Structure 1
Amino acid sequence: MGSKYPEPSKKFRKKAALLSVIAMGLGQIYNRQYVKGFLMLAFYVYGIFTAVTSLPHALWALVTLGETETHLQKVGRIYKQVMGDHSIFLMVESLITVFIMLVLIWLYIAGIKDAYRTGKLREEGVRPNTFKQTLSFVAAYRFPHIVLAVPILGVVFFTVMPIIFMILVAFTDFTRETMPPAHLINWEGLQAFKELLRTKAWSHTFYSVTLWTFIWAFFATITGYFGGFAAALLVQSKGIRFKSFWRTAFILPFAIPMFVSTLIMRNIFNGQFGPVNQYLGMLGIAKAPWLSDPLWAKITLVLVNFWLSFPVSMLMIIGILSTIPKDMYEAADIDGASGSQKTRLITFPMVMYSMAPLIIMQFVANINNFNIVYLLTNGKPLNGDFQFAGHTDILITWLFKLSMEQGKYNYASVIGIFIFIVLSVFAIWNVRRTKAFKEEDAS
């Protein structure tokens, strides 16, 4: 931290901390870190200015969400439109202001701790670092923190704040009928949650769509994984020639953009002019209502997803197969194990050990798999018992319809919160099971 120098033993730490409590930076100035102290003092002045000028307005905006609606006001003989408060803009601006204040409070507390530590070192006879020495220390030992600061800010502004905004909207009456700035949004507490979970029409839709979402995610994940496992075993079999060709052929469905592939599949499985039903008719087999019958539409979704997803699993499993020690199979041959026994007792456990975290993440991704459901079926066929949802809608597509098509933004936010909680639980659980996390936790 610096060289020893003679200085009388005083309670520097207490004085420095107390001065930093009075005003951020005063403790550093007291510790003879003048440049650092004046910079922190400038931040303190900015924080006080923000607290005095912006924070009261931000708190007022969060509490009231505005007080004046857009209205016509008579000026002389004519009426002019007077713009009112925009509740959504007020909410967003308030969140930004509160976030800035939290950062300033964190800097304030960090300044107190820094002044206390430096004061303690002065008591021990250590000369405080100069501003140049502080910059050198930060560049040498805090460079990773500086680099990570930029993406962290991005995460806060583009991930955390939208999530907080979504949570706040769920507690309002924000719908198309109350769209700002023509109207003001009001806080309604848990009203949207109660209607979604207790009102018969809404609760029936919510529970049914949620159940189908998990069923869909399960079958989409399982079929994609086992399809890739089977394809990988076939391609890697000893008797198979032209392995590179087959690997390339199987990866083609994934190489084509999903948007294009899904629209092609939608035409292929069309009940009236789709080629699949035409070929079935030529063979004398009854045509199937692929996309018009609720059960058949769900089966079609799983089939199409299988075709689009198994190549990724195949490539990953091929890579894992190459890492399995050959002596394990040689020992199994000596013991007289059959091919199915080697697959069941050696290949599958080894592949599953490496693929388990990826399978969980694929399951999470399929819960939120908007593209294939929306592009292939658009949630259809329609269900008269559901609120703005079809038989094949999953939570994310229902959320899209409620927000973008029906303007039920508060209900959509409630569903968004539910999806966020479910995905977060799976993601955190999966991360905690990883080897890297366990090693870090053990250390």
Structure 2
Amino acid sequence: MNKPKKAAILSLLFMGLGQFYNKEKIKGIIFAAIEIFILINIPYFTYSFWGLITLGETPQYFYNGLAYGDHSIFLLIQGIIAVLVIFIFILIYILNVTDAQRTAIAREKGIKPMSFKSFVKYSFDKYFPYIILTPCFILMLFLTVLPLLFSISIAFTNYAAPFKLPPKNLVDWVGFENFRNLVNMPIWNSTFIGVAIWTVIWAVLSSVTSYFAGLFLALLINAKEVKLKKFWRSIFILPYAIPAFISILVMRLMFTGLGPINSIVVSLGFERVPWLTNSTLAKVMLILVNIWLGAPYFMALMSGILTNVSNDLYEAADIDGATRFQKFTKITLPLVFHATSPLLILSFTHNFNNFMIIFLLTSGNPANPAYRYAGDTDILISWIYKLTLEQNQFHMASVVSILIFIFIATVSALTFSKTKSFKEEDLMQ
């Protein structure tokens, strides 16, 4: 048996043995210590995997101030952590085998194994990006992937009030039952479809109106006839500079039933207008307030793009007898859209999950008796908020979250790939 194969088999049998065979004692000790740690904690991993599969067998109870029994959610989280730890261990295990084999191949060629100090220096020189990214990768696993896996897992359980809330009750795996209920049960189905349709309408209208309102302001400010351009840009950027949280709350106070806007309306001899309590008006107000908040951003962005458009294009168009509208549609809009289309897509994805403006301005109201735990202006993300923090319907909230992710990921990937800026970048690579 040749040395590389023997070293690989030894490291495969027990981490570090291949390194000892290659006379790399410190590396062998480190790899062996990692496997010993895993072996010592086998009972922990066994219990964690049992908890992940069963979600517990005995509901939690208290005796003499101490908790006994199983908490399904704790077991679920613990099980996911165990899976991630084993995943990291498998990666290290593969690294251990390949390292032993690579060193043995070098030995066969007459190259002496490096000292541990030399190996560390060599690794930092050759694999510095990977070494620096590894802590970030581990943090991502436990701070991003772990919550994501937990949220996805909840969609396949019956974790909901009133009968399946730990610690008093255990939670069970139910497979795709929640997905079927969302489709087949009228109360869930009608709510989901109604809220989803409004969410898409809201995301499209709020993005497009802010985009073109910003473009309109940018065109006005960049017009030759307008003086003091910096002054006007500074004025119109103020709504974006003020925290949106404050602006939305001010708008809500202004347009309430007894607010100053309705006071002016009454003083003019008209009846109070239900700005935020009528379904249609509330949706219109959401769009208008979003324009107030979003248009300045696009204005500032497009002002910079418009200043870089060559005047030669417009002069050539003037010679050809083009009108202002033709110059706008054939020159200005294509150039601006080419540079900003990815940002328009990002604006759509942001507004699709724009929880803050919905929650602060209307709280999802007015109420809709035909909906389950949702109002007329609720979008999917605000409905999820109500399902979780107000109604404890965690299972259905998780299902809706998964569907949002699938939709947003699909739309973003398809639209990004169709933009000219994306295609040009791909060609450059």
Q: TM-score range by the shorter chain?
A: over 0.9
Counterpart of 2:258?
273
Count of aligned residue pairs for this structure pair: 427
Local SS of the residue matching 1:173: coil
Counterpart of 1:239?
225
Q: 2:387–2:393: 8 Å Cα contact kept in structure 1?
A: yes
Q: Does 1:14 align with 2:5?
A: yes
Cα deviation code 1:294-349 (max 9, x no counterpart): 11111111111111110011111111112222222222222232222221111110
**How far did residue 278 of structure 1 move?**
3.5
Once residues 423 and 221 of structure 2 are traced to their aligned partners in structure 1, the CA distance between those partners, rounded to angstroms, is 34
**How far did residue 264 of structure 1 move?**
0.9
Counterpart of 2:368?
383
Q: 1:172–1:186: 8 Å Cα contact kept in structure 2?
A: yes
Q: Match of 1:104, as an amino acid? A: F
Distance 1:382 1:125, change over 3 A: same
Q: Does 1:183 align with 2:173?
A: no
Once residues 204 and 235 of structure 1 are traced to their aligned partners in structure 2, the CA distance between those partners, rounded to angstroms, is 46
Cα deviation code 1:207-237 (max 9, x no counterpart): 1101110000000000000000000011111
Distance 1:55 1:369, change over 3 A: same
Give the gaps of 5 or more residues in structure 1.
Answer: 1-9, 74-78
Q: Does 1:58 align with 2:44?
A: no
Q: What is the aligned counterpart of 2:350 among 365, 369, 374?
A: 365
Counterpart of 1:261?
247
Once residues 357 and 65 of structure 2 are traced to their aligned partners in structure 1, the CA distance between those partners, rounded to angstroms, is 49
Q: What is the aligned counterpart of 2:216 among 230, 246, 256?
A: 230
Q: 1:227–1:306: 8 Å Cα contact kept in structure 2?
A: yes
Counterpart of 1:325?
310
Q: Does 1:155 align with 2:140?
A: yes
Q: Match of 2:14, as an amino acid? A: A
Cα deviation code 1:133-162 (max 9, x no counterpart): 211122212222222223222222222111
Once residues 96 and 82 of structure 1 are traced to their aligned partners in structure 2, the CA distance between those partners, rounded to angstroms, is 22
Q: 1:84–1:182: 8 Å Cα contact kept in structure 2?
A: no
Q: What is the aligned counterpart of 2:396 among 394, 411, 423?
A: 411
Which sits farther off after the overlay, 322-331 or 37-46? Answer: 322-331
TM-score (norm 1): 0.91
Counterpart of 1:7?
none
Counterpart of 2:329?
344
Q: Match of 1:392, as an amino acid? A: T
Q: Does 1:69 align with 2:54?
A: no
Once residues 310 and 201 of structure 1 are traced to their aligned partners in structure 2, the CA distance between those partners, rounded to angstroms, is 37
Once residues 166 and 423 of structure 2 are traced to their aligned partners in structure 1, the CA distance between those partners, rounded to angstroms, is 46
Counterpart of 1:4?
none
Once residues 426 and 124 of structure 1 are traced to their aligned partners in structure 2, the CA distance between those partners, rounded to angstroms, is 53
Q: Match of 2:38, as an amino acid? A: G
Give the gaps of 5 or more residues in structure 2.
Answer: none
Counterpart of 2:339?
354
Counterpart of 1:143?
128
Q: Match of 2:37, as an amino acid? A: Y
Counterpart of 1:3?
none
Q: Does 1:423 align with 2:423?
A: no
Q: Does 1:45 align with 2:52?
A: no
Once residues 318 and 439 of structure 1 are traced to their aligned partners in structure 2, the CA distance between those partners, rounded to angstroms, is 23
Q: Match of 1:244, as an amino acid? A: K
Cα deviation code 1:49-92 (max 9, x no counterpart): 23x2222101110111112223466xxxxx87753211111111
Distance 1:322 1:360, change over 3 A: same
Q: 2:84–2:141: 8 Å Cα contact kept in structure 1?
A: no
Local SS of the residue matching 1:54: helix
Distance 1:408 1:253, change over 3 A: same
Q: What is the aligned counterpart of 1:92 among 57, 73, 77?
A: 77
Q: Match of 2:191, as an amino acid? A: T
Counterpart of 1:199?
185
Q: 1:83–1:181: 8 Å Cα contact kept in structure 2?
A: no
**How far did residue 284 of structure 1 move?**
5.4
Q: 1:402–1:408: 8 Å Cα contact kept in structure 2?
A: yes
Once residues 134 and 417 of structure 2 are traced to their aligned partners in structure 1, the CA distance between those partners, rounded to angstroms, is 24
Local SS of the residue matching 2:249: helix
TM-score (norm 2): 0.94
Once residues 134 and 426 of structure 1 are traced to their aligned partners in structure 2, the CA distance between those partners, rounded to angstroms, is 46
Q: 1:70–1:81: 8 Å Cα contact kept in structure 2?
A: no
Q: Does 1:122 align with 2:113?
A: no
Cα deviation code 1:271-294 (max 9, x no counterpart): x32333343445556653211111
Which sits farther off after the overlay, 426-435 or 206-215? Answer: 426-435
Q: Does 1:215 align with 2:213?
A: no
**How far did residue 436 of structure 1 move?**
7.4
